[in-house]
Structures are given as structure tokens and as C-alpha cells.
Amino acid sequence: MNLGPVQPALVSLGRLKARGVYEKARRRSPAYRAFLAEQRADVRVFEDVPVTSKENYVKHYSVEERCYDGRIPPIGSVIDESSGSSGVPNNWVRGPEERARATRDLQLTYALMYGKSSNFLLNCFALGPWATGMNVSMSLSTVGILKSIGPDKAKLENTLRLFGPQYRYLICGYPPFIKQFVDTTAIDLAAYDLHAIVGGEGLSEALRSNLLKVFKTVLSSYGASDLEINLAQETDLTVALRQLCVKDRDLCIELFGRDMPPMLFQYNPLDHYVEATAGGELLFTITRLGTAAPKIRYNLHDSGGILTHADLRRELAKYGIAIGRLAGRQSHFPLIYVYGRSDMTVPFYGCKVSPADLEAVIAADCSDIVNSFQFGRADGEDGEARLRICLEYRTDVASPSDAEKLHETIFQGLKAVNQDFREVTRMFDSSKIVVETYAFGTGPFANRDIRVKNQYLTG
């Protein structure tokens, strides 16, 4: 059945559901009621509803005040904690009804992606209070064989050795952790049937290509501790479209306004009403009435936008591309495209450099020696700004590589993946880029907490 014509109606229904959540929240959430009064909101249509964020809402009200009726549901609630990668960790309440619904949604997504055959799930996301790891374990414990490992490479390797290649393994974790494991393991992974499910941060096509030398499939999920861990998913269609945009930069600019492909996902508009601001940031409203604390027009400060399946089909047709050729099996759900956190970019000579830019360069050109990176602005002795890039060598790099060669690789790579950077290099030469190299676990990479996502901005 072709559900394409139905999708616009689903988006409209999602908007109506979002308005219903707003009406409930303004009556029954003490924090939200106070927030509206402070904002002097005059709401006639949903687009008049004030935008909420961690800065203007979450940090101003207690966990209890943000809940309906000013209290945490006393039975069946779980409190998650964000990783704290962007500052002080925050706490988020999930009530029993939303936990049950999130479990059903995650299991449905899992079944659509991997079928109902038995799989061995190895959960390598951070455990403890952090949202992603615990929710993955709680939600998927009934769909296969589950072992919750956490981000521990030795335990992951021991597990694969113990149970051997007789199983189909789904390894879940942050992209840097998966990459580090592949780079350093002594196991012959070619003997195993491995599939990767990644999340928490962006995944470049270069890194996906590297991981596909070991994994049969590599798919990413989009979510946030603030909202839900499974807002949207990569599909056959979004992966094929992104890989097409890597090859055809003109098409990428036509679709997304930049020549570097964003992360691409599809989402259910009945569960999440998504908007894009004039400044290119995404707003999310969870449209279910059964949440413990409402999330309404919440700004994660993720740069990106939305694209309907119909609009995508029309744009591709201009280039003579039939959308049906990209993926044999595809839904007509709308697409989210994401470039990453807008507050994690570094402004430099009028352009913005993001972690995704550097991750793409490193994955494509020097992942054999570089494990991780941090970057930021620094002032030179002459008072002029520099772009400071710190590179951490892999554990198996016995001796430092040619720093000058790495410097040129990074400089030329940034010109290739970031069109704005390429333009502003007319104003300066490569000396304005400072590349520092460090042995594994030293310098700015010392004393990191492996349970949280990588910190990419230098202090």
C-alpha cells in the first residue's frame, strides 16, 4: 500500500497533538505555567508558543516543578542523567507510560531493521544513570540475547572470544568507541557476523565505510537525553541519499544548503512534531500526553532542518533521479537532517568549523594513526586568531608521525569538506591552522571519562 499521500495528514495530526500537550502543560505543569507567565506568551497558534531550552527552562525549574502536578510519578518512574558533555549534567524523569511506549517504539524499530531472528545484543553505551545505555538494556532485553557491557573494550573482546562466531552480534555504542575497538582488538573479526548500531554523535560516511570493512551493517539512531533516545533512525533511504550526496556535491547544496552531507534520519510525525527555526535549529515537541514532564518546542541547539518525502522526490527528479532507485524498501515518513550541535562549532574568519568536519577528515585520511581530536580558537603571539587542533594518536602508534604531513592533511581536508572554510582560506594560509599531536591519553586527552561522549572543544 502506498502511504505517501497520507503523510502530510500525519504531520498535521502531529501538530494537533502537540497543541494538546501544550494545553495540558499550561494547566498542570507548575514550571511551564510559570515559564509562560515570564515569557508573557500570547498563544493563538502553535507557532506562538515560546521556545524552551536547557538554558531558559530546564535550569530555572526543579525536576518536580517540570512534571505534571509538580511531582514525580511515585511508581514506575526512572530518572536519567545526561552525559554532561556540554556542561553540568541534568536529570530527566521518564514515567511508566512513556517508558512503556519508548520500549515499544524501540522494539518496533529494532524489528524493522533486523527482523525477528535471534540476535546477540552487546550494549556498549554508558551504563549507570545515563539515559541511552540503560534505556537500550531495559527496552531490548526481551528481543534477543542481551549483555550490557558498557564502553569497555576488554570486556567486549572477552565476550566475543567466549561466545565465538556462532551468533549474529549487534554491537551498540558511541562511534569513537566502536572505532577504537576495531582499531585495537586482537580478534580476527572477519570470522564474526557483526552489525553496529551507533548513536550519541555524528557518523561520517568515511567512518561508516571504514567500519563496513568489519561490520555487515552500520546504522545510526538520533536522540537526546533531554527528549528521547530514539527520536529518529537511519533507514536504507537516508543512508543511500547521504552517500549520493557525498558523490554529488551540487545535489547536496541543492537539498541542504551546504556541500557537506548532514546526518539523515526519518521520524514518526505522530510521536514527535519537529520544526526548524529561521536560524536553522531544530525544535521538538513530544506529542504524547502520557509523559511525566512535557517537552514543548524544545531546542536542542542542533543545526538542521526537515524535508518531506514528497519534497525530496521532487528535488531528486530535477536531477533525473528516481527516489525508488535509492532504496527498494522505504517509508514515506519525513526526514530530519542534522549537522550537529550549533553551540559546538568554532567560528573562524567568518566560517564555522564543526566536530563533524574534522571527524570526516580524520576518518577519510588519517584514522590509521589518529584516535580522537579536540579543537578551538587560540590567539597567536601576533594577536591574530588561530584554529587550534589537537590530535590524539592511537594506542598502537609506536612513534609520532610526521606532524607537518598531518597539518597539511587536516588543512586540505577541511577545505574539501567545508565550503565556507574553503572560501575564507583566500584570506589566510595554512599557518593559521595549528596542529598539535599527543600520545594516547596525554595532554587534553588525559583523565577522560569513557562513560560519556567525547569532548571536542578545547578549554
Report DSSP letters for 81-133, one per residue: E---TTSS--EEEE-HHHHHHHHHHHHHHHHHHH-SS--EEEE-S--TTBHHH
Please report which confidence band the pLDDT of residue 380 belongs to, taking 50, 70 and 90 as the band edges: low
Single-letter amino acid, residue 327:
A
Mean pLDDT of 5-27: 90
Which residue is associated with the grid cell 542523567? 81
Cβ distance 156 to 149 under 8 Å? yes
Question: pLDDT (tens digit, 9 = 90+) per residue, 243-256?
Answer: 999 999 899 999 99
User: Are 309 and 94 within 8 A, CB to CB?
Assistant: no
CA dihedral 241, 108, 339, 150 (to 10 degrees): -120
**Residue 410 predicted with pLDDT over 80:** yes
Say if CB 204 and CB 417 are below 8 A apart.
Answer: no
420 part of a folded domain: yes
236 burial via Cβ count (<10 Å: 0-12, 13-18, 19+): middle
Name which of 147, 210, 149 is nearest 175 in CA terms. Answer: 210
Q: Which of 230, 263, 296 is the last residue of a domain?
A: 230
- Looking at residue 27, its pLDDT comes to 96
CATH number at residue 422: 3.30.300.30
| Maximal C-alpha separation, the chain | 66
> How far from 37 is each of 43, 67, 69, 400, 405, CA to CA, in Å?
12, 17, 17, 59, 58
* The pairing of beta strand 168-173 with beta strand 145-148: unpaired
Question: What amino acid is encoded at 32 in this protein?
Answer: Y
Distance CA 63, CA 78 (A): 12
pLDDT at 8: 73
Question: At which of 166, 196, 230 does a domain end?
Answer: 230
Q: Which residue has the higher pLDDT, 335 or 355?
A: 335
Residues 6+ apart with CB under 8 A from 93: 63, 66, 67, 72, 73, 77, 78, 79, 292, 293
87 pLDDT higher than 60: no
Q: What is the mean pLDDT of residues 170-179?
A: 87
Q: Which of 159, 157, 201 minimizes the C-alpha distance to 176?
A: 201
> What pLDDT does residue 320 have?
94
The amino acid sitting at 51 is V
pLDDT at residue 360 tops 50: yes
| Residue 247 falls inside a structural domain | no
| Pairwise pLDDT comparison (241 vs 138), residue with the higher score | 241
The answer to whether residue 338 is domain-embedded is no
User: In the 8-state DSSP scheme, what is residue 324?
Assistant: G
* CATH, residue 76: 3.40.50.12780
pLDDT at 129 over 60: no
Task: Give the bridge partners for 52, in sequence order.
Answer: 298
Q: Tell me the average pLDDT across 75-82.
A: 83
Is 29 a domain residue? no
Per-residue pLDDT averaged across 116-121, rounded?
80
What is d(CA 8, CA 332) in angstroms, rounded to the nearest whole number?
Answer: 10
Residue 359 lies in a domain: yes
Q: How confident is the model at residue 236 (pLDDT cuts 50, 70, 90)?
A: very high
Percent of the chain with pLDDT over 90: 50
Q: What is the pLDDT of residue 116?
A: 67
8 Å CB contact between 339 and 258: yes
The average confidence (pLDDT) of the chain is 86
**Residue 1 falls inside a structural domain:** no
Question: Is there a contact between 389 and 358 (Cβ–Cβ < 8 Å)?
Answer: yes
3-state DSSP assignment of residue 452:
coil
Question: Is 268 a domain residue?
Answer: no
Q: Indicate whether 447 pLDDT > 80.
A: no
Residue 22's contacts (CB-CB under 8 Å, 6 or more residues apart) are 43, 46, 49, 285, 294, 296
Q: How far apart are CA 255 and CA 335, in angstroms?
A: 12
pLDDT for 1 = 44
Phi, psi of 272 (to 5 degrees): -135, 120
**CA gap 410, 418 in Å, rounded:** 12
Which three cell numbers, joined as nine digits, stand for 456? 571536542
* 217-222 and 232-233 beta bridge pairing: antiparallel
Same domain? For 83 and 212 the reply is: yes
Answer yes or no: is pLDDT of 107 > 60. Answer: yes
Q: Which residues contact 25 (CB under 8 A, 6 or more apart)?
A: 32, 33, 68, 294, 296
- Residue 40 placed within a domain: no
- 133, 125 Cβ separation under 8 angstroms: yes
Q: pTM here?
A: 0.81
Please identify, among 195, 230, 265, the residue that sits at the C-terminal boundary of a domain. Answer: 230
Give the strand pairing for 351-353 and 168-173.
unpaired
Structural domain boundaries, residue 399: 346-445
Closest CA to 149 of 117, 181, 118: 181
Looking at residue 37, its pLDDT comes to 96
Q: Which residues contact 104 (CB under 8 A, 6 or more apart)?
A: none
Using CA atoms, how far residue 62 sits from 131, 290, 388, 427, in Å, is 19, 20, 38, 48
| First-last CA distance in the chain | 54
**Three-point CA angle 64, 273, 198, nearest 5°:** 85
Residues 212 and 81 in one domain: yes
Q: How many domains does the chain have?
A: 2
Residue 299 banded pLDDT, cuts 50, 70, 90: very high
Q: What would the mean pLDDT of 192-210 be, rounded to a whole number?
A: 88
Q: Which are the contacts of 6, defined by CB distance < 8 A and separation ≥ 6?
A: 332
**pLDDT number for residue 131:** 62
Question: Would you place residue 398 in the very low, low, confident or very high pLDDT band (cuts 50, 70, 90)?
Answer: low
